[in-house]
Amino acid sequence: MTATVSSPPLHAPGVPELSRRRRTRDVLATVMVHVAFAIAMVPLVWILYSVLGHGWHLLLDSTWWTNSQRNINPERAGGGVYHAIFGTLAQALICAVIAVPLAVFTAIYLVEYGTGRLARAVSFTVDILTGIPSIVAGLFIYALWVTTFGLQRVGLAASLSLVLLMVPVVVRSTEEMLKLVPNELREASYALGVPKWKTISRIVLPTALGGIVTGVMLGLARVMGETAPLLILGPYASSINTDLFNGNMATLPTMIRENFGLPDQPAIDRMWASALTLIVLVLLLNIAGRVVARFSGVKK
Amino acid sequence: MAILTGRPGPGTSPPPADLSSTGRFGDRVFHGLSTGSGIVVIGLVTAVGAFLLAQALPALVRNDANFLTDRVWQVDGDPLRFGIPDLLWVTVISSLVAMVIALPVAIGVALYLTEYAPPRLARPFAYLVDLLAAVPSIVYGLWGATIIITYVAPVQTFLGSVLGWIPLFSTENAITGTIFLASIVLAVMILPIITAISREVFAQTPLTHKEGALALGATRWEMIRTTVLPFGTPGTISAAMLGLGRALGETIAVSLIMGTTNGAFSWSLFSGGETFASRIANNAQEFDTPTKAGAFIAAGLVLFVLTFVVNAMARVVIERRKAFAE
């Protein structure tokens, strides 16, 4: 936390009063930064308000959570989002199963083992991975999965492209957490003759667990909202598909995209309702992540 | 501290062997897994570049047009003709305008959160700004394409009537889903990124500098101008570039917002067009032949290189500052 320096008394005895120009500038700056913050809040409130306002009524319908869009065309109301929620959760889960071990071990390497050029190279590539546009991640998996291996565009391929986007988030947050684990803990463990791998797996990781979980949740929230790679790799389907290896699989983002730009009111309603569902899912994960971070983990 | 983590600090020579590791089976496995994961990450990034290059090359070889200068995009049929100048222009200008809009606001917000906000509220407020980053980009797309479009239109008309003599603001081929609108939405999307990093560097300003300025009789703004801003400048520059990198690669929001112009090119912000990312996304369902996909992969490769360069430059700026601060 930064210590806030309070403003000096503007007029102390014996000190000449501030010139009008200096005082005006000070007041102007104060007003400007407050305005900047207000400007930043406008889109957040506006987006939440419009998505909530347009989408809430469909979410109250129980079929929304239990049905798919099978046999429902844009002109007809009804159906639900079950198939898309399933797809989003399934792809995110598979993505996490691959990305989390890779990312956590990479972070362990960076903090506990890595030295010299290799560590710098790993750190640099994680930075590059952070900046890779999601559409490029999608193109890469397309080039690998479809063009090179000749496979179909299935749920698993979409999951793989999400792995590239999740890994850097988890690496960076895990790395931060591992660095916060006090060295006294490691020293004490080594002093008792505990081997390094046991020190890491029994002492360091459990201490940092809260922060790692937070990183995973934030990473999941990020990949669940990703649309670009799914446009290339995960064509929409209106029915439930539980097979990650076969057939098209719906996800919330592709369902929104599918209903975008149609003139029919039921489709427009569905678009906003699925956007609201996605936001709720992502925000819940996000808030849960912050709560975990708050109540566990390493205290500075 | 450096010795205990097994990570030598700058200037110290690395220890001959890792003393805390006993060479047991478990240690070797763990070391192997960690190092292996690091190498896999390097491999992934290398593979992205290599695969994109490998699949773009055949299409580039069969390209009849000049990839860098010709404004055509015919990827059906055999003599492929495709070039990227208009994609490059729309991508770069929309991101630059977004950065120009977002940067002053982000600096203001970062200053508010570090210097002005009541300490008790600074954290929850910072979290609210971070929530902007959590909103999925497709939702930004919906918001831009269906809600704020009606509010931005009068602004465009006004700007066009006042500044219309500059080609950048010409309203000649004005359409509704403009580059300008996309830039505004992109600005909102990169605002939390720039804010978060600027906030972090502003908060690191040495307290003694700030107290010194105040003790010399500076007002709060003069204190910020003479200590916080100079200290934070490199960090803010790199934050702006990371934001730029994000804007360059943004796909779905741009794709939903920006109308396509069907080949009519204009320098104006009030016309439409496609960025690298949105052209790939708009045609993603039609990748049927490897050469056709190759043309889009070539565009993706240029985007990858562009974001790579911007991000790497941002990192270099921030690394140099770190070295200076330590």
Which pLDDT tens digit goes with each residue over B25-57? 888 899 999 999 999 999 999 999 999 999 999
B10 part of a folded domain: no
Instruction: Note the pLDDT of residue B285.
Output: 82
Contact list, B109 vs chain A (CB under 8 Å): 33, 36-37, 40
Residue A92, chain B, CB below 8 Å: the answer is no
Q: Which residue in A152, A153, A132 sits closest to A251, CA to CA?
A: A153
Residue B37, chain A, CB below 8 Å: the answer is yes
Contact list, B137 vs chain A (CB under 8 Å): 225-228
Q: Which residue in B200, B202, B196 sits closest to B133, CA to CA?
A: B196
Q: Which of residues 117-176 of B touch A (CB under 8 A)?
A: 117, 119, 125, 127-129, 131-132, 134-143, 145, 147-148
3-state secondary structure of A60: coil
Q: Give the residue ranges of DSSP H helices in chain A.
A: 20-59, 62-66, 82-108, 116-131, 134-141, 155-180, 183-191, 196-198, 205-224, 228-233, 252-259, 265-295
B151 part of a folded domain: yes
Residue B227, chain A, CB below 8 Å: the answer is no
What is the band of B262 on the pLDDT scale with cuts at 50, 70, 90? low
Residue A262 identity (one-letter amino acid): L
Contact B293 A147 (CB under 8 A): yes
B234 part of a folded domain: yes
Indicate which of B12, B21, B30 best probes the interface with A, i.e. most A CBs within 10 Å of its own CB.
B30
Residue A50, chain B, CB below 8 Å: the answer is yes
Measure Cα distances from B236 to B240, B312, B325 in Å.
Answer: 6, 15, 15
Contact A235 B109 (CB under 8 A): no
Separation of CA A156 from chain center: 19
User: What tens digit of pLDDT does each residue of A171-230 get?
Assistant: 999 999 999 999 999 999 999 989 999 999 999 999 999 889 989 998 999 999 999 999
User: What is the CATH number for B222?
Assistant: 1.10.3720.10
d(CA A7, CA A60): 51
Look at residue B3 and tell me whether its pLDDT is greater than 80: no
What is the band of B89 on the pLDDT scale with cuts at 50, 70, 90? very high
Contact B5 A111 (CB under 8 A): yes
Q: What is the DSSP letter of B169?
A: G
Contact B22 A51 (CB under 8 A): no
- Answer yes or no: are the C-beta atoms of B279 and B252 closer than 8 Å: no
Tokens at B237, concatenated: 């520059």
Residues A132-156, mean pLDDT to the nearest whole number: 92
Comparing CB atoms, the residue among A15, A33, A187 nearest residue B108 is A33
Contact B34 A225 (CB under 8 A): no
Contact B33 A26 (CB under 8 A): no
d(CA B323, CA B319): 6
- A162 or A244, higher pLDDT: A162
d(CA A80, CA B178): 33
Instruction: Note the pLDDT of residue A78.
Output: 84
* Secondary structure percentages of chain B, helix, strand, coil, to 5: 70, 0, 25
Contact A231 B281 (CB under 8 A): yes
CB under 8 A, 24+ apart: contacts of A182-190: A182/A298, A183/B1, A183/B4, A183/B5, A186/B4, A186/B5, A186/B20, A187/B4, A190/B20
B25 part of a folded domain: no
- Asked if the interface predicted TM-score (ipTM) of this complex is over 0.85, the answer is yes
- Taking domain A82-295, whether its CATH number is 1.10.3720.10 is answered by yes
What is the band of B20 on the pLDDT scale with cuts at 50, 70, 90? low
Structural domains of chain B, count = 1
CA distance B266 to chain A (A): 25
CA distance A227 to chain B (A): 7
Q: Which residue in B305, B250, B255, B244 sits closest to B279, CA to CA?
A: B255
Residue A126, chain B, CB below 8 Å: the answer is yes
CA distance A195 to chain B (A): 6
3-state secondary structure of B178: coil
CB-based contacts of B186, cutoff 8 Å, min separation 6: B94, B95, B98, B102, B247, B250, B253, B254
The residue assigned the tokens 């427009």 is A268
Indicate which of A196, A203, A223, A280 best probes the interface with B, i.e. most B CBs within 10 Å of its own CB.
A196
Residues B258-284, mean pLDDT to the nearest whole number: 83
Look at residue A3 and tell me whether its pLDDT is greater than 80: no
pTM: 0.90
Comparing CB atoms, the residue among B1, B219, B284 nearest residue A232 is B284
3-state secondary structure of B63: strand
> How high is the mean pLDDT of chain B?
86
Comparing CB atoms, the residue among A50, A118, A221 nearest residue B134 is A221
d(CA A32, CA A39): 10
B29 part of a folded domain: no
Count of CB contacts below 8 A, A vs B? 323
Residue B149 is part of which domain span? 81-325
B235 part of a folded domain: yes
Residue % of chain A over a pLDDT of 90: 65
Domain ranges of chain A: 82-295
Contact list, B131 vs chain A (CB under 8 Å): 44, 283, 286
Contact list, A224 vs chain B (CB under 8 Å): 136
Residue A4, chain B, CB below 8 Å: the answer is yes
